[in-house]
Amino acid sequence: MTDAIRAEGLVKQFKGKRALDGVDLTATTGAVLGVLGPNGSGKTTTVRILSTLLQPDEGRAEVGGFDVVRQPHEVRRLIGLTGQYAAVDAELSGTENLVLIARLLGFDRSQARARSTELLERFELSDAAGRPAKTYSGGMRRRLDLAASLVGRPALLYLDEPTTGLDPHSRNGLWDVVRGLVDDGVTVLLTTQYLEEADQLADDIMVLDHGRVISQGTPEQLKNHAGNQVLELQTVEPEQLSLATKIIEAVTSSPVTSDTVRARVPVTDAAVLPEVVRRLDEQGVAVAELSLRKPSLDEVFLALTGHTADEETAGATANEGNRA
Amino acid sequence: MSAVTSPSRSDLPAGAPAAPGSITPISTVQNGLQLAWRSVLKIKANPEEVLGLTFMPIMFVTLFVFVFGQAMMGDWQTYRDFLMPGIIAQSVVFATLGTGFALCQDVEKGIFDRFRSLPIARSAPLIGAILGDLVRYSITVVMVLVVGLAIGFRPEGGVLGVLGAAAVVLLFAFALCWMSAFVGMMVRTPMAVQSFGMILMFPLTFGSSAFVDPQTMPSWMRVVAENNPVTHLVDAMRGLMLGGDVAGPVAWTLLWSAIFVGVFFPLAVWAYRRRT
């Protein structure tokens, strides 16, 4: 068995709206599958189906060779789940939270203690072990939540937007933890809204939009499609923008998108920047702003779908938040 | 750069979880008890809860006895004895609201998702919550009794009568908490449980024999009060603690408890499955 997760044609409707509209998905054992998409694209619904919390209306999914609908108990023995909202009991201390999970998983009292101590140490929560989780910072709570999902030594870990709302330092810490788990052979399914996060962690990326898979491949393939970086330009005189656009188009030989004030183009080679500057200068275009940056999720979406990520997502988000 | 060290290899004999291979009635009860332990820990950890469980009985007993006592029955001592069974019943009936509140909160915060992703019985969190709440109700009964004893309440039924009354009220609370659980699963926020529950609980407790003899009420209200399950409960407790008719009201209380369980247990389980 080389695929930890295999799903075909998953469909899920909430009140007539299709949260998932035929999703196929494969996660290779020991690898990280990144599921990238904006709010309401169906990421959380996918995770909830694959972790047996929700049943699909159509399609089927196997986790570790077990069917998520017919063999949920077997699936639950293999998985760990860390949700978007840190699902630890805020009233209980770090130790109590972990001991509870361990006891539920069949550890005896002393084993549960030992496992809890071990995990708290590993996640640098030992000093806060006796404090109620409500006194923890956001990053500490996420770490406790992740520790809770690792108590049973899962072979497969679901991370549903693990870094949303975290500061960069905590986020980097969490990334390191995920890398460590992968080194240990754990298969990870990670959902995220951040291209950078998927790029950093995932071996394969699947892009979801309106409940459909719109792209799948390695981070390299995805970025090649959307450009490694984005060159963005604003001219002092708006009238000069069209001239500037022509120049950039000539240098990069990529289609430039522009609105009334800015022009944007995906670039794969940063070396075009000095060339662009030189030509703009030659033509006497006064530049107000010129930058080279990583493409945003929006731009990847634009490249893949022709529409931006945040269109029409408000309604879909309401549906996804619905724990029907 | 990281504040977190990565889990080491010893962490992962992957695919060898500690969890049992299948769900049995024994494992379900065990898991229920472990989750009940969580509820009890929460009582301890939550100062508001402790305050509610201790201060509310002191306040209610003191206010009712010393404010209404004289006016109701000529002297506060007589009213105190009349009131004690009623106020125990009222405190416990209100405490059942906590069941729905806590369940709603757990669902809202995603804690039930974690439990449900574990290889344990699906009903275990519900069983755990209810068992834990029985502990809370027992604390409530004891606290009200302690306050009563402190202001001179000496029930004629003695220890046995008091224990009997406690058993009846806890049984009733166990039955009623399924209604609360059902409400908790049907509404979206814990705050809604609170307000919806209040609308149910006020008529249920005040429109009964808990505080006033129904004979003094206008006829339509008397009909309501005399058929209120809480009246049967309070009458049964009065019989056991103070002497008087016991068999009739106890039988009625048992019947009402059976009805509550019969109706709201399936509804609560249905709503729980639907919601989670």
pLDDT tens profile A19-37: 999 999 999 999 999 999 8
Structure tokens at A172: 């980097």
Closest-CA distance of chain B to residue A193, Å? 20
Whether residue A189 is found in the same domain as residue A242:
no
**Is residue A313 included in any domain, yes or no?**
no
Query: Does the residue A21 lie in any domain?
Result: yes
Q: What is the mean pLDDT of chain A?
A: 86
Which residues in chain B have Cβ-Cβ distances shorter than 8 Å to A184? 7-9, 11-12, 14
Question: Which A residues in the span 122-181 are in contact with B, Cβ-Cβ below 8 Å?
Answer: 122-124, 132, 139, 143, 148-150, 152-155, 169-170, 172-177, 179-181
Note whether A166 and A285 are same-domain residues. Answer: no
CA distance A215 to A204: 11
Mutation target vs B (from A29, A44, A73, A108; most B CBs, 10 A cutoff): A73
Whether chain A has a CB inside 8 Å of the CB on B113: the answer is yes
Residue A53: inside a domain, yes or no?
yes
Contact map slice: A 40-79 vs B, CB within 8 A: 48, 51-53, 64, 73, 76-79
Of B7, B8, B45, the CB nearest to A91: B45
DSSP secondary structure code for residue B7 in this structure: P
- DSSP assignment of B104-170 equals HHHHHHTHHHHHHTSSS-TTHHHHHHHHHHHHHHHHHHHHHHHHHHHTT---TTHHHHHHHHHHHHH
Q: Which helix (H) or strand (E) holds A196?
A: helix A195-201
Name every chain B residue with its beta carbon within 8 A of the beta carbon of A93.
45
Residue that finishes a domain, picked among A188, A223, A258:
A223
Q: Using 50, 70 and 90 to split pLDDT, how confident is the model at A297? A: low
Asked if B23 is an interface residue toward chain A (Cβ–Cβ < 8 A), one would say yes
Q: Does the predicted TM-score (pTM) go above 0.95?
A: no
Pairing of strands A204-209, A257-258: unpaired
Same domain, residue pair A171 and A270: no
pLDDT surpassing 70 at residue A115 = yes
Residues of chain A positioned with their CB less than 8 A from the CB of B124: 104
The pLDDT of residue B19 is 54
* CATH number of the CATH domain containing A276: 3.30.70.260
Higher pLDDT, B232 or A39: B232
Closest CA–CA distance from residue B237 to any residue of chain A (Å): 35
CATH of the domain at A118: 3.40.50.300
B47 reaches A (C-beta below 8 A):
no
**Residues A181 and A269 reside in one and the same domain:** no
Same domain flag for A17 and A140 = yes
Name the B residues in 236-275 with CB < 8 Å from any A CB. 274-275
Q: How far is B35 from chain A (nearest CA, A)?
A: 8
User: Residue-wise pLDDT tens for chain B (276 aa)?
Assistant: 344 443 333 333 333 344 556 788 888 899 999 999 998 898 888 777 778 777 888 898 999 999 999 999 999 999 999 999 999 999 999 989 988 988 898 888 888 888 989 999 888 888 898 999 999 899 999 999 999 999 999 999 999 999 999 999 999 999 999 999 999 989 888 889 888 888 889 999 999 999 999 999 999 999 999 999 999 999 999 999 999 899 999 999 999 999 999 999 999 988 888 876
- In this structure, the answer to whether residues A217 and A249 fall within a common structural domain is no
User: How far is Cα A134 from Cα B46, in angstroms, rounded to an integer?
Assistant: 11
Q: End of a domain among A207, A223, A239?
A: A223
Contacts of A92 in chain B (CB under 8 A): 38, 41-42, 45
Q: What is the dihedral of CA B144, B150, B156, B157, to 10 degrees?
A: 40
Task: Tell me, yes or no, whether A315 lies in a domain.
Answer: no
Q: Are residues A139 and A155 in the same domain?
A: yes
Residue A286 placed within a domain: yes
**A305 belongs to a structural domain:** no
**Could you tell me if A36 and A97 lie in one domain?**
yes
pLDDT tens across A133-168, in order?
999 998 899 899 999 999 999 999 999 998 888 888
CB contact under 8 A, A105 and B13: no
Q: Look at A104 and B110 and tell me if their CB atoms are within 8 Å.
A: no
Q: Would A125 be classed as within a structural domain?
A: yes
Whether residue A103 is found in the same domain as residue A116: yes
- Name the residue among A96, A152, A175 with its Cβ closest to that of B18: A152
Which of B113, B114, B272 to probe by mutation at the A interface, max A CB count within 10 Å? B114
Query: Structural domain of residue A26, as residue ranges?
Result: 3-223
How many other CB atoms are found less than 10 A from the CB of residue A288?
Answer: 13
**Any domain includes A322:** no
pLDDT at A321 over 70: no
Whether pLDDT at A1 is above 60: no
Residue B212, chain A, CB below 8 Å: the answer is no
Whether residues A78 and B9 touch (CB distance < 8 A) is answered with: no
Q: What is the mean pLDDT of residues A228-246?
A: 86
- A213 shares its domain with A232: no
* A280 neighbors A242 (Cβ within 8 angstroms): no
Distance of alpha carbon A108 from alpha carbon B246, whole angstroms = 46
- Using a CB–CB cutoff of 8 Å, tell me whether A88 touches chain B: yes
Provide the pLDDT confidence category of residue A311 given band limits of 50, 70 and 90. Answer: very low
Q: Which site among B1, B5, B6 would you substitute to test the A interface, given the most A Cβ atoms closer than 10 Å to its Cβ? A: B6
Give the pLDDT band of residue A322 (cuts 50, 70, 90): very low
ipTM over 0.90: no
How many domains would you assign to chain A? 2
Is residue A8 located within the same domain as residue A103? yes
| Residue A176 and residue A243 in one domain | no
